[in-house]
Every structure is written in structure tokens, then in C-alpha cells.
């Protein structure tokens, strides 16, 4: 398998007055193309900080984060923004849709930043809305959509640019149980179909079951990593 992200001894320390708080403490992890991961932990465990490091939204205090041979911690802000635009998709708990834009226009946004021609970006955005079952809501604004529909728009926006990595930060936190499973099924199915790396941050053990690997985060450390049984069996078959 092709390695996409490699973290080595990543630390993040925040200073609050005289106090130093270690949000992450020597985290070492590898992420591979086409696999689904879950960063599982309670509030304050460091899982969202870890996501921010990998997404280039924050810099580590120490350690290395390598994306396809490039050290993210050494990049300028301009190049980090370029990394996020080209290679990263985000699904947020609060949807983060622009209220003045239609569903179609919200999905088109990443393509505008990539300077994709208008006709092409409309076609691609409509394709993604169809993939998430919302082609008949293309002209509706967020206020005219339910929470589940807004999250479907958010998912379409995250995938429209065909990014290599999708980060989903508590993507179902504002949804009811039925809609939660619909959204997680949708995200994981699209990622698998397109051979994309999906990294889900959650505190929900049931959500974590959708992942190929569950990375348990506790007090800024990797407590343990659970690999699905079928993955272990496949690995054993390859080594026989």
C-alpha cells in the first residue's frame, strides 16, 4: 500500500501564561492510500489537534509530518494553503456552508479556488450533488435544507475536488441516529469507491466501527490501534 501521511514524534505544546499544556506527546503514525481511519477519544484527548496538524491548520511544536515526501511543518503558509486546496477535503460537524449561496454554489467553491472553468465546475458540482442524492435541491440555500441535507452538501463539497485525503471532524455530531448512519455510510462508500484516505475524528465508538483502523487517542498519546479482523486475515494471507 502507498503511504500518504507519516507522523514521527509529533508534539504540540500550548502556553497559557506560565503553564505549558501538552496537547500531543510524541505521536508516531502512518496513514495509507484508500484506507479509512478513526481517531477515537474523549473531548480534550488531542484528537482534533492531531487532525489540525495533519491538515496543515496548525504546526507541531516538534516532530515531522510528511505528505508524499514533503515535510508539512517546513512549508510556508502559502504552500500550506496550496496543500489544503489541492489534496485535502473537510467535512465539519457544523457543516460550514455559506448561507447566501445555494447548495450548488457551496459545492462549487473548492473548484473556484482551483480556477476550474465555470462550466466544468458546475458539471462536477452537480455530479457530486447527484452522488449524495441532492440534485433536486441544487438551487436551495442552507436555511431551506434539513440538517442531514446540509451535511450531504458539505460531503459533496469535500469530495468534489477529488482530494487524496478527507478529514471528517465529528461529522455527525449535530444529526439524529438514523441520519448519522446514513452520513457515515455515504462518506465511507464514496471514499472507498475513489480509493481515497478517510480520517474520521469522533468520540462515538459505534462510528469508529466503520474504520479499517481505530486509533485510540488518550491524553495526547496513541493509547492503542485496533485493526479490523478481516484486515489482519488479509495481511496474514499475504505473508504465507
CATH at 226: 3.40.50.300
| pTM summary value | 0.90
Q: Render 151-217 in DSSP notation, one character per residue.
A: HHHHHHHHHTT--SEEEEESTTTTS-HHHHHHHHHHHHHHHHHTT-EEEEEES-HHHHTTSSEEEEE
The domain containing residue 127 runs over which residues?
Answer: 3-239
User: Can you tell me which residue has the cell 507522523?
Assistant: 7
pLDDT digits (tens, 9 = 90+) for 178-216: 888 899 999 999 999 999 999 999 998 889 999 999 999
Composition of the chain by helix, strand, coil, percent to 5? 40, 30, 30
Taking the C-alpha atoms of residue 152 and residue 135, their distance in angstroms, rounded to an integer, is 11
Residues of the chain with pLDDT under 70: 229-240
Using the structure block, give the residue that is written with the C-alpha cell 512549508: 75
Residue keyed to cell 465529528: 170
Q: Are strands 62-67 and 70-71 parallel, antiparallel or unpaired?
A: antiparallel
In a 10 Å sphere around its CB, with 0-12 CB exposed, 13-18 middle and 19+ buried, how is residue 230 labelled? exposed
Q: Residue 145 has what pLDDT?
A: 94
The answer to whether 217 and 50 are in contact (CB under 8 A) is yes
Please count the CA atoms within 13 angstroms of the CA of 50 that sit on its side-chain side. Answer: 37
Q: What is the pLDDT of residue 4?
A: 95
| Cell reading at 66 | 510528511
**Strands 197-202 and 165-169, how do they pair?**
parallel
Question: What are residue 14's DSSP bridge partners?
Answer: 21
Measured between alpha carbons, how far is 61 from 126 in angstroms, rounded to an integer?
41
Predicted local distance difference test score (pLDDT) of residue 229: 64
- Per-residue confidence (pLDDT) for residue 5, from 0 to 100: 96
Give the three-class secondary structure for 144. Answer: helix
Query: Rounded CA gap, 17 and 213, in Å?
Result: 37
Number of domains in the chain: 1
93 φ, ψ (degrees, to nearest 5): -60, -40
Amino acid at each position: 500500500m502507498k503511504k500518504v501521511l507519516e507522523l514521527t514524534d509529533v508534539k504540540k505544546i500550548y502556553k497559557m501564561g506560565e503553564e505549558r499544556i501538552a496537547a500531543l506527546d510524541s505521536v508516531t503514525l502512518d496513514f495509507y492510500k484508500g484506507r479509512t481511519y478513526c481517531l477515537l477519544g474523549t473531548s480534550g484527548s488531542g484528537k482534533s489537534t492531531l487532525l489540525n496538524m495533519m491538515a496543515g491548520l496548525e504546526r507541531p511544536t516538534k516532530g515531522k509530518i510528511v505528505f508524499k515526501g514533503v515535510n508539512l511543518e517546513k512549508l510556508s503558509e502559502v504552500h500550506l494553503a496550496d496543500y489544503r486546496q489541492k489534496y485535502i477535503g473537510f467535512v465539519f460537524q457544523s457543516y460550514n456552508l455559506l448561507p447566501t449561496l445555494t447548495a450548488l454554489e457551496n459545492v462549487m467553491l473548492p473548484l473556484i479556488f482551483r480556477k476550474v472553468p465555470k462550466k466544468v465546475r458546475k458539471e462536477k458540482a452537480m455530479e457530486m450533488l447527484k452522488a449524495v442524492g441532492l440534485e433536486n435541491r441544487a438551487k436551495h440555500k442552507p436555511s431551506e435544507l434539513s440538517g442531514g441535507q446540509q451535511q450531504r452538501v458539505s460531503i459533496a463539497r469535500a469530495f468534489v475536488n477529488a482530494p487524496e485525503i478527507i478529514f471528517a471532524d465529528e461529522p455527525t455530531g449535530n444529526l439524529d441516529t438514523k441520519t448519522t448512519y446514513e452520513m457515515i455510510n455515504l462518506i465511507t462508500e464514496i471514499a472507498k469507491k475513489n480509493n481515497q484516505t478517510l480520517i474520521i475524528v469522533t468520540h462515538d465508538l459505534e462510528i469508529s466501527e466503520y474504520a479499517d483502523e481505530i486509533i485510540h487517542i488518550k491524553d495526547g498519546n496513541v493509547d492503542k490501534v485496533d485493526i479490523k479482523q478481516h484486515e489482519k486475515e488479509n495481511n496474514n494471507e499475504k505473508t504465507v
